[in-house]
């Protein structure tokens, strides 16, 4: 059965030729400030599932655990790092979107070793073995 394509579906599939779609350009600019509302405020079920995902991922770790170098990819607005309880020497928070990265950097309290970098998770610029923990939450 053929599905009816909405403007939003067109906008979020740049690989199908929508890169010049004004709706896609508008979505990219407006999505960062709407991000937390969409995923963490408006819908109680989505909010619950998203928060539970962050908590569950960190459940195995406590303040007694320590990693030397942590890489978070696709970190968005920085929701996950508030749930990280283990220690670290270095935590590199990354996202491909500079607007989301900026929100994450502004909202996350400074911690020794924590830095923010724009990175494409499919083409990371780090050498193999740089990190001993990778965090990737709700990224497929
Ligand atoms: C559903 S959000 C999840 C964000 C965050 N991990 C969270 O739990 O709130 C997906 C994130 O992946 C980022 N992203 C998409 N493609 C990416 C890529 N190729 N490399 C790095 N980040 C990417 C988006 O900018 C967005 O912040």
What's the gap in Å between 84 CA and the centre of ligand 1?
18
At 2-60, the pLDDT tens digits run: 445 444 444 445 555 566 789 888 888 898 899 999 999 999 999 999 999 999 999 99
* 86 or 17, which is more confident: 86
What's the gap in Å between 66 CA and the centre of ligand 1?
25
Judge whether 136 and 89 are in contact, CB under 8 Å: no
Residue ranges lining ligand 1, Cβ < 6 Å: 39, 73-76, 79-80, 95-97, 100, 120-122, 137-139
What's the gap in Å between 88 CA and the centre of ligand 1?
22
At 102-135, the pLDDT tens digits run: 999 999 999 999 999 999 999 999 999 999 999 9
Query: CATH code for 44-136?
Result: 3.40.50.150
H or E stretch including 24?
helix 22-40
Q: The whole model's pTM is what?
A: 0.85
DSSP codes joined into one string, 100-115? HHHHHHHHSPP-TTEE
């Amino acid at each position: 059965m053929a599905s009816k394509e909405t403007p939003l579906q067109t906008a979020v599939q740049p690989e199908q030729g929508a890169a010049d779609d004004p709706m896609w350009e508008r979505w990219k600019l407006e999505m960062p400030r709407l991000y937390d509302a969409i995923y963490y405020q408006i819908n109680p079920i989505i909010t619950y599932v998203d928060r539970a995902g962050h908590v569950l991922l960190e459940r195995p770790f406590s303040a007694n655990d320590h990693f030397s170098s942590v890489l978070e990819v696709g970190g968005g607005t920085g929701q996950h790092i508030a749930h990280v309880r283990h220690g670290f020497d270095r935590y590199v928070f990354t996202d491909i979107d500079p607007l989301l990265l900026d929100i994450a950097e502004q909202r996350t309290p400074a911690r020794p070793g924590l830095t923010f970098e724009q990175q494409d998770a499919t083409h990371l610029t780090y050498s193999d073995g740089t990190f001993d923990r990778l965090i990737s939450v709700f990224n497929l």
